[in-house]
Amino acid sequence: MQADKSLFFTSTILMIVGVVFSLSLSVFAVLLFNYTEYHFFIRQFGVVFVGIFVMWAISLLNPDKALFWIGFGLFFSCFIAMSVMYVLPASMVTEAGGARRWIRLPGFSLAPVEFFKIGFVYFLAWSFSRKIDDSKKTILAEVKILFPYFIVFIIIVYLIAVLQNDLGQVVVLGATLICMAYFAGASLRIFSIILTIAIGVFTVIIVTSDHRIARLKSWWGSVQDFMMTFMPEAMAQALRVDNAPEPYQVMHSLNAIRHGEFWGEGLGAGIIKLGFLSEVHTDFVLAGIAEEAGFAGIFCVVMLFSWLIYRIFLISSRSENKVFHLFSLGIGMLISLSFIINSYGISSIIPIKGIAVPFLSYGGSQILASCIAIGMILMISKRANI
């Protein structure tokens, strides 16, 4: 059987769109760092070229054999890499905001967390298929089964949210874990318990960090007038935040979206990239696309992502092998949650989380990781009845 060509070409089209906007939106960064005009374009084009080849090459492999080795290889190697990053010399690690997130290699830097997410999803799919089934169990029995995963997740929270100061990735992984456990056979009762614990853990992480509290206040200050129209007067007054710091990035992101109107300003004609959002080609790429391609362009991007996610979930639903089913489901959750969190963040629906848009945002690690994930799904599609 052949791999799903529709999924392959949809992923490729999204990456091509990302390459085009890496040239159009990187103007300020090029001037700021005194790079050549095509610096980001050439690097993104090179990564996409390699990523498409990797995606195609992986799709040719036998999923019954290769999926296990790729999945666990990514899980263990990236877990070790994230664990040792803080003992590596400064010359080997790139810092951002005091957190070490990239390992420097000759010619490029690698973010282990992007590849770890794929390995983690495979670990969950492989383990859940052996530990969880649809048989009826007591709450205590289900807790005993899921408790080791909770311990593993706490370690991951420490490595990513604490050491790397990256709560957004933990939110995505936590939501993916909960959904995979439910579809693996966990009851609705234990699903609710896990969800409650997860909300509690994330709340603790937020309230123990001054910069996260400040970011939350900044976001709430920008939306409170609208949100309070749906609240009782007493609650609205209790939650009101006065003199909240202005959400600078979100303000300019919303200006870009509004400025683009329906058809956009035209490719290369946007102004928000001229220092207002200096890294618009990375986490705010959707705002840049909205300004230059307008609502029509964003609508096309949303349709492409919707079709991509639909194909992944279709492959998941048609896979008789439980590991294949759960892994495809998990990757679909990773991609859809990343896109939703980013798009909601730049439009001020939720606080900004620093999550890249899969395939579109500038960055070699997320592009290669996304290509590996899609390549593994394409492998699985050869065994799915689609």
pLDDT tens digits, residue range 112-127? Answer: 999 999 999 999 999 9
Query: Which of the given ranges, 73-87, 294-308, 354-368, has the highest pLDDT on average?
Result: 294-308
pLDDT, position 139? 82
Biggest CA–CA distance in the chain, Å, is 63
- Note whether 11 and 359 are within 8 A (CB): yes
pLDDT, position 282? 84
Q: Has residue 106 got a pLDDT over 80?
A: no
- Report yes or no on 173 lying in a domain: yes
Q: Has residue 131 got a pLDDT over 90?
A: no
Q: How confident is the model at residue 261 (pLDDT cuts 50, 70, 90)?
A: confident
Looking at residue 275, what DSSP letter applies? T
- Report yes or no on 162 lying in a domain: yes
pLDDT, position 346? 85
pLDDT, position 194? 77
- Report yes or no on 350 lying in a domain: yes
Q: Has residue 88 got a pLDDT over 90?
A: no
Q: How confident is the model at residue 238 (pLDDT cuts 50, 70, 90)?
A: low
Contacts of 146 (CB under 8 A, 6+ apart): 132, 181, 186, 190, 194
- Report yes or no on 386 lying in a domain: no
pLDDT, position 17? 95
Which residues on adjacent β-strands are paired with residue 99?
A: 96
pLDDT, position 335? 96
pLDDT, position 269? 81
Average pLDDT over residues 76-89: 87
Percent residues over pLDDT 70 in the chain: 90
Q: How confident is the model at residue 382 (pLDDT cuts 50, 70, 90)?
A: very high
Number of domains in the chain: 1
Residue predicted with more confidence, 289 or 348: 289
pLDDT, position 63? 93
Q: Has residue 28 got a pLDDT over 90?
A: no
108: part of which helix (H) or strand (E)?
A: strand 108-110
Residue predicted with more confidence, 244 or 40: 40
Cα separation, 272 vs 251, in Å, equals 11
Q: Has residue 352 got a pLDDT over 80?
A: no
Residue predicted with more confidence, 302 or 347: 302
Domain enclosing residue 116, as ranges: 5-381
β-strands 108-110, 93-96 pairing = unpaired
- Report yes or no on 74 lying in a domain: yes
Q: How confident is the model at residue 222 (pLDDT cuts 50, 70, 90)?
A: low
Q: Where are the alpha helices (DSSP H) in the chain?
A: 5-24, 27-32, 39-59, 63-84, 112-131, 139-157, 167-184, 188-207, 210-227, 233-239, 248-260, 285-317, 322-346, 364-381
Give pTM, 2 decimals: 0.90
Percent residues over pLDDT 90 in the chain: 42
